[in-house]
Structure 1
């Protein structure tokens, strides 16, 4: 579901282009993908420092803090601030050209359970094929999407450039429910 929010992708792209290859952490669930899938934490579980713990919040975690990366990314940070609900985690997720995220389910990401994951594409290409319940979802840079990722989903990046999304995990509140009712 596309939310009634839109963001100028230019400052987001500038933030991403300022990153170095070594800034990204390889995704730790290797059986879920082929190729290169990585993340950069912007908001993470409080009190952790291991790179993998910074890109994943265990179920039941309630304390989150901004990382040093968020302060370095004013465009991306402004998008996160636009969400008037509690922000659990936020990260950039990069799927390299020629890479595939295999079909899987994220069972803890359903509005009915009080949590939502929002995708804001920053960099993409026409050959990115995001599937939710087998149906293609075409997302353009600067759009905001709620995807019920407790359902089966997959991504194929058959293009020549990486796909980068801002991925924000939120606690559902009345503001977010109004956006979803849009």
Structure 2
């Protein structure tokens, strides 16, 4: 992570909170609800165009109203694929997933600049959670399974830049400080604990609260260290036990999509 000047971060935060952003819900399969984005740089120049893809990104109409943010992006001199503001509401989750699988096979990286956050908002990857503190540029590798949550609020707002690898990115990476110290390992989950959670989900489903049962299992990812895709596997097991083969197949397909597992 690379440190930013505190007064600059405050200007960026003010712009993110006050600019007339056309927040859009997207990637509904990846979230619980409560995750919104708006684009600052993309292919079309339209801030409401939020479905990311490979392009030579250009500023949107929204970025034109955020001079401090525009100046920072210009100063970094990176090769931008897409730049967004992302807002995660309280009690909202981005489920375990991988990114970039649908894009061209070129080297790219993701940068996060937290602008408005709280200690109950964190990313989970590799069996550990990381609260991305403000005042830094964080470098992530979203091709590894990961998920994000904001348990208590207020809203978490990050500036997210997807960039292509080039000399400017390499310079930024070389002057950044190690990020490993920010990771907090999650406790391992025993088979007995997973069986208890599956039984609790079954009780909810039997009462008719199927969505709540599924979310109970998906949220395990944020509190205990799990093998990849365990939440999706547990939901598949739940629906199999309920005799709903169609729902079991749907969640098996969701696992393959969100984690981009090759299907033979």
Q: TM-score range by the shorter chain?
A: 0.7 to 0.9
Matches of residues 103-114 of structure 1 in structure 2 within 5 Å? 103-108=96-101, 113-114=106-107
Q: Which protein shows a greater Rg? A: 2
CA apart distance, 1:140 = 1.4
CA distance in 1 between counterparts of 2:93 and 2:171 reads 33
Query: Which stretch shifts more, 148-157 or 77-86?
Result: 77-86
Tell me which of the two structures has the higher relative contact order, counting C-alpha pairs closer than 8 angstroms and 6 or more residues apart: 1
- Any residues of structure 2 matched to 1:76-95 within 5 Å, and which? 76-95=69-88
Aligned pairs, how many?
171
Pairs within 5 Å for 1:1-182: 2=1, 4-7=2-5, 8-20=8-20, 23-26=22-25, 28-46=26-44, 51=48, 54-58=49-53, 61-108=54-101, 113-182=106-175
CA contact (8 A) 1:116 1:172 kept: yes
SS at match of 1:25: coil
Structure 1's consecutive aligned runs of 4 or more residues displaced over 4 angstroms after TM superposition are: none
Q: Over aligned residues, Cα RMSD in angstroms?
A: 2.2
Report the alpha carbon displacement of residue 181 of structure 1 after superposing the two structures with TM: 2.6
Could you tell me which runs of 5 or more consecutive residues in structure 2 were left unpaired when the two chains were aligned. 176-264
Q: Which runs of 5+ in 1 are unaligned?
A: none
Deviation at 1:108, TM superposition (A): 4.8
Deviation (angstroms), 1:134 = 2.3
1:38-76 Cα deviation digits (max 9, x unpaired): 111111113x7593xx21233xx3332211100101222
